[in-house]
Structure 1
Amino acid sequence: MRFILACLFATMSFAALAQESGDATVPLPKPRPAELSSAPAVQLPRHRPAPPAPQPVETPDTPAEAPAPSDPIGPPLPPGEHAAEPAEPTAPPRIYQTACPAVLLGKVEAKALPPIEEKLCGTQSPLSVAGVLANGRMVPISGGVETDCGVASALPAWIESVDSYLKARDNTEIAEVVVGTSYMCRNVNNGSDGNLSFHAFADALDVVGFKLEDGRFVTVEQGWSDALSSEGRLLRFAHDAACAHFTTVLGPEANALHRDHLHVDLGCHGKTCTARICE
């Protein structure tokens, strides 16, 4: 016990002695080097120079006159008037035409033509027909056919029936359908007065004959007279078959004016446009 107390006393005495001697014996931290004691100065951006002061603009007492053009167009305008603005070009008027379903379906090979306007004659949507579909092939039609959609749509079924007759009867086919008159602005029977013909509305055709694959050219003018010949039978079949597809069919037995062709059209007959003329 005494030993412990002696140790405590000695320790306390040593601490008191150290306190009396002062804090001078405690080492202090070394001073920071001079180059690290202060950070280098950061250079600030220079001030933007002030914009120059606006200079006064000298205005003449009297405005200067504009120089005259070296090559003026037209006479000078009176004082106070201005040149008129150029007018904008006007769009051409729209042409209203209708499409032909037979052409869209590929039953008729044709090209649309501009509207025909000739005195009281014409049609809005004429076609230039080059061929019709018959028994799976396009049969050419010659003669510069200008007709409407109604006649063009009736042609394929009629030509197909004539072609089928030739195939069964004479073992040949139609090579070409030859047309005489299609559109023509004239009266009925080329009269000097009277009603307009349906040719005047591109609603009629005059078929003069058929070229066949076997080399023959059967014409109404030469083949109709002999009713028992192969050509005469063909032409009479074509005449009668046309009566099922057109409202007007006129051949050599109708009158002398039709001695050399078969006239077909879609003219209206009767109160309901269902009557037919087949002569």
Structure 2
Amino acid sequence: MRRIALLGLIVPLMLIEAQAAEKLKPPLPKPKPVSGEMVSPPAEPAEPEPAEVAPPTLGSAGNKKVPVPREKPSREQPSASENPFVPQTGAQPAEVAKPKEEAKPQEETKPEDEAKPAPGEEMAACREELAALGAKFTVPEMPAAEGQCKVVNPVQINAIATPVGMVNFPGEPTLNCVFAKQFTSWVADIAAPVVKAHTGEALTAISTGPGYECRNRNGDSTTKISEHAFGNAVDIASFNLPGKKNLPVSNVAKSQNAESRWLMALRISACGYFTTVLGPGSNEAHAEHYHFDLGIHGKSGNYRICE
């Protein structure tokens, strides 16, 4: 038994000594190539083929599906024929269609624009309307324009027919035709009927100033130009009844006089026809007469002065 045990120890030791001796042997020199013979390089080891991966199966625990990775988009650049930003050889670039501009609607012509007369025709139309109201007038020859003073369409009023008789204007005021229509309408619609109703007598005449005057307001050189400079105003000094009875406007301030009431009624009614109405009590310059005009006041032009 002891021999068998010793043999078990000796054999491994001999194997170890043999392996050590094999390692200590010098490496054999590589054989030199023979002249004229081509030596092929050592073959590269073949790359191992990738093992096929079996598709994932449902696991027994949870039965959850394993997500399959999506294919990544190709990063290859498109060819020149596919790239829209690279000009094609021998081919003209297609014209880009421009958006069509919407046709602008044509401005509708208003009926009043079509019927609007030329300046000369408009002035003639105004005089025809004035005559249709029953006014008697002439077209005066005006002096050359003096600075800003100018009457666009002058007429010289002589009389106006009213429901209670003809009313004369001894002063024959020169007025702009548009203002003359407004003034004669007030006389026919308001003044003549009111005087007839209060006095029982017909209004025969109205004493006025000249109408057109090239001056500033109130005759003051430091003030703005007056509406009289455009024939756009008239001053009334008195109302005349039959028998040359003269009733001055200044009597409106005398309450003891019978005519003060209808004189005040005429003054108030004028505020509906004119943009400016002044008279006794307004200021010293109008203490003896009424002043009517169609001047524009304020930015809107709707402001009225009624004093």
User: Please, what TM-score do these two structures have when normalized by structure 2?
Assistant: 0.56
Residue matched to 1:111: 138
User: Displacement, 1:106?
Assistant: 4.0
Residue matched to 1:260: 288
Contact map agreement 1:247 1:265 (CA 8 A) in 2:
yes
User: Displacement, 1:104?
Assistant: 3.6
User: Aligned partner of 1:191: which letter?
Assistant: D
1:173/1:151 Cα in 2 relative to 1: closer, same or farther (>3 Å)? Answer: same
CA–CA distance in structure 1, aligned partners of residues 271 and 147 of structure 2: 31
- What aligned pairs does 1:223-238 form with structure 2 within 5 A after superposition? 223-238=251-266
Contact map agreement 1:127 1:148 (CA 8 A) in 2:
yes
Flag the structure with larger Rg.
2
CA–CA distance in structure 2, aligned partners of residues 179 and 250 of structure 1: 14
Asked if 1:201 is matched to 2:206, the reply is no
Contact map agreement 1:172 1:214 (CA 8 A) in 2:
no
CA–CA distance in structure 1, aligned partners of residues 210 and 158 of structure 2: 14
1:199-242 CA distance string (max 9 Å, x none): 01111000001101254210123x12312422212221121111
Stretch of structure 1 that moved more, 95-104 or 263-272: 95-104
Contact map agreement 1:108 1:152 (CA 8 A) in 2:
no
Residue matched to 1:246: 274
CA–CA distance in structure 2, aligned partners of residues 111 and 170 of structure 1: 32
Unpaired segments of 5 or more residues in structure 1?
1-94
User: Displacement, 1:136?
Assistant: 5.7
Structure with the bigger percentage of strand: 1
- What aligned pairs does 1:94-109 form with structure 2 within 5 A after superposition? 96=120, 98-99=123-124, 100=126, 101-109=128-136
Residue matched to 2:192: 163
Contact map agreement 2:153 2:176 (CA 8 A) in 1:
yes
Asked if 1:127 is matched to 2:165, the reply is no
Residue matched to 1:145: 173
**Dislocated runs of 4+, deviation >6 Å:** none
The DSSP-based 3-state class of the residue aligned with 1:238 is: helix
CA–CA distance in structure 1, aligned partners of residues 199 and 224 of structure 2: 41
Supply the RMSD in Å over aligned alpha carbons: 2.0
The DSSP-based 3-state class of the residue aligned with 1:178 is: strand
CA–CA distance in structure 2, aligned partners of residues 123 and 105 of structure 1: 22
State the number of aligned residues: 184
Identity level (%): 30
CA–CA distance in structure 2, aligned partners of residues 164 and 136 of structure 1: 7
The DSSP-based 3-state class of the residue aligned with 2:266 is: helix
Stretch of structure 1 that moved more, 257-266 or 191-200: 191-200
1:106/1:162 Cα in 2 relative to 1: closer, same or farther (>3 Å)? Answer: closer
Unpaired segments of 5 or more residues in structure 2?
1-118
Contact map agreement 2:166 2:204 (CA 8 A) in 1:
no
User: Displacement, 1:267?
Assistant: 0.5
CA–CA distance in structure 1, aligned partners of residues 133 and 164 of structure 2: 11
Contact map agreement 2:198 2:262 (CA 8 A) in 1:
no
Contact map agreement 2:138 2:157 (CA 8 A) in 1:
yes
Contact map agreement 2:203 2:240 (CA 8 A) in 1:
yes
